[in-house]
Structure 1
């Protein structure tokens, strides 16, 4: 957090938190809700925040509490965020020196560990990272899928190693159509273990539990 924010928190430690004024969209856009209706009306679109200075301030002071509720620390006050998809929206970045692909959050943080991938029925790809739950931005999804390859599943059934799907199309079909967890790797991307990570099907109702976050924050948490 910004030093000025930490100082304000120390000076005014008991400022009540607020809910319903801020949301994060599926594309990674911060939106303001002047009516304070972001939580009570999850479909309320709000207004885009366009000031580069304000956006940078929110990005730097975005945190999570012990209940998995994400907030923007606005000086001494927590402004809790409605999450339309996940706490972070990920974009692809390319290292200018190595040419290696990586993932970066909408707040500008690089991802160093991809723990698991989750694919929903709409084709959205969610990621468990060391920074928290995330969604691959729609515009970056094709690049990520192209970087993935089927990997050998390290688990065994009756002493026999499960064979990896031959192609990513097979892996995705196995995941979505058969409900199976498959393993994938991404040799050209930072953050992926050499042996790969699990790619599992996921229902919308499972995401908050699996990725440990709360989309609609509430004051009794």
Structure 2
């Protein structure tokens, strides 16, 4: 976390949290969601300002309930996740998050829509993390995997990564959030408003 953020938190400890204004899409892009986007379930406008993106990513963390947020000075700006808290890329046989952190997979899953999810560790983050494989990397993933085809069983195939064979297990999208302990659409506690825009 940036030192300027720590100082702001100490100076203004009771700033209300913000909900719904910031989203992370399925390709790891940060998006601003105005009231219209929020009311109509739209993804919002992509953030293009590189310094702002870097600031968000340096101060991106989670609370004790599994809500992910960006600490914007004294204010927590909770993030609406379009799937998982992390999006990973597979480039030259190496996995990393779209925020540039190393990702070491422990488990691999494919959901009913053909999405590939991985669980593992993200450099600098405690605990098991769930990550969606960027859809542009599905071909690279397939070339490093063996599929069981139509065979019935507990696994769909094997993902070969860094000298290891990781079984590809089936998963249902609706189960992902609960299984990995995160909240895709954090909401304010009862009696607390949505807060002001970040």
TM-score under structure 1 length normalisation: 0.76
**Relative to structure 1, is the Cα distance of residues 135 and 13 closer, same or farther in structure 2, using a 3 angstrom cutoff?**
same
Say which is worse superposed, 113-122 or 134-143, in terms of deviation: 113-122
C-alpha RMSD of the superposition: 2.1
Gaps of 5+ in 2: 123-128, 191-198
- What SS is found at the alignment partner of 1:130? strand
Is residue 141 from structure 1 mapped to residue 138 from structure 2 by the alignment? Answer: yes
Aligned length: 184
**Relative to structure 1, is the Cα distance of residues 185 and 139 closer, same or farther in structure 2, using a 3 angstrom cutoff?**
closer
Match of 2:99 in 1: 107
Match of 1:184 in 2: 158
Match of 1:97 in 2: none
- Greater strand share, 1 or 2? 2
Q: Shift of residue 186 of structure 1?
A: 1.8
Query: C-alpha separation between the residues in 2 aligned to 1:219 and 1:64?
Result: 15
**Relative to structure 1, is the Cα distance of residues 75 and 179 closer, same or farther in structure 2, using a 3 angstrom cutoff?**
farther
Query: C-alpha separation between the residues in 1 aligned to 2:94 and 2:74?
Result: 34
Match of 1:44 among 42, 55, 73: 42
Deviations 1:166-189 (Å, cap 9, x if unpaired)? xx232x544xxx3623563424x3
**Relative to structure 1, is the Cα distance of residues 143 and 77 closer, same or farther in structure 2, using a 3 angstrom cutoff?**
same
**Relative to structure 1, is the Cα distance of residues 69 and 173 closer, same or farther in structure 2, using a 3 angstrom cutoff?**
farther
Q: Shift of residue 145 of structure 1?
A: 2.2
> Would you identify which runs of 4 or more consecutive aligned residues in structure 1 move more than 6 Å?
none
Contact 1:133/1:212 (<8 A) preserved: no
Query: C-alpha separation between the residues in 2 aligned to 1:198 and 1:220?
Result: 39
Listed as ranges, the matches of 1:49-198 within 5 Å are 49-94=47-92, 101-111=93-103, 113-131=104-122, 132-148=129-145, 168-170=146-148, 173-174=150-151, 178=152, 180-181=154-155, 184-187=158-161, 189=162, 194=164, 196-198=165-167
Match of 2:178 in 1: 209
Identify which of structures 1 and 2 has the higher relative contact order when contacts are C-alpha pairs closer than 8 Å and 6+ apart: 2
Q: Shift of residue 202 of structure 1?
A: 1.0
- What SS is found at the alignment partner of 2:80? strand
Query: C-alpha separation between the residues in 1 aligned to 2:85 and 2:51?
Result: 21
Contact 2:37/2:43 (<8 A) preserved: no
Q: Shift of residue 86 of structure 1?
A: 0.8
Contact 2:88/2:132 (<8 A) preserved: yes
